[in-house]
Amino acid sequence: MYQRKQNPVATNVDSLPPLMSVAFSVDSDEYALGLSETNEMRSDSRGWERVQRITVVRSDRPAVYLKSLGPRDDFTADGFNIPSGVPDEATGRWVLVHTVAELQELADTIREQDPQSADIEPRKLDDSYYKAVEQVQDAHIGPTKAIYGPKGDRLQ
């Protein structure tokens, strides 16, 4: 069984290996580097499923625990990522702040939220583009005063 340390600190980020280990189980009171949920193709290539990844520290290296949550169609929320580490500027190491149980509780809350509940009004990208072009032109050559007609005749 995994023994939790009193001071949960991972290794320096620069020393992390390019390949990550696999964790076959996680303890609910174990500190984690983060949790993410994504929609991925099933291993047998017969549809999509929602996968939860929990990254924990084993032998001073990150290890990933994968859990299938079921078919993608059962979830309305988009995929998300919850980081759980804070870099310590003095030592260059990561301090872990959340346990697996805390991250899973946060994930349940995010998953239950209505994806359209955000009060963000969509912008018209065409208008933003043309305004940005006009600002660049005004900055370089000044505002345009002349107006030209369909045949190239100056109207003003």
Q: Could you tell me whether strands 61-71 and 21-22 are parallel, antiparallel, or unpaired per DSSP bridges? A: parallel
Res 139: pLDDT: 67
Structural domain contains residue 143: no
Structural domain contains residue 133: no
Structural domain contains residue 80: yes
Q: Name every residue whose Cβ is closer than 8 Å to that of residue 47 and which is 6 or more positions away in sequence.
A: 41, 71, 72
The domain in which residue 93 lies consists of: 13-112
Q: How far is CA 99 from CA 46, 80, 95, 114, in A?
A: 33, 17, 12, 25
Give the helix/strand (H/E) hosting 99. strand 98-99
Structural domain contains residue 19: yes
Number of domains comprising the chain: 1
Structural domain contains residue 26: yes
Structural domain contains residue 125: no
Per residue in 60-90, pLDDT tens? Answer: 888 999 999 999 999 888 889 999 988 888 8
Per residue in 86-143, pLDDT tens? Answer: 888 888 888 899 999 999 999 999 888 766 655 667 667 777 777 877 877 776 655 5
Structural domain contains residue 142: no
Structural domain contains residue 77: yes
Nearest to 62 by CA among 83, 46, 91: 83
- Distance from CA of residue 118 to its chain's centroid? 17
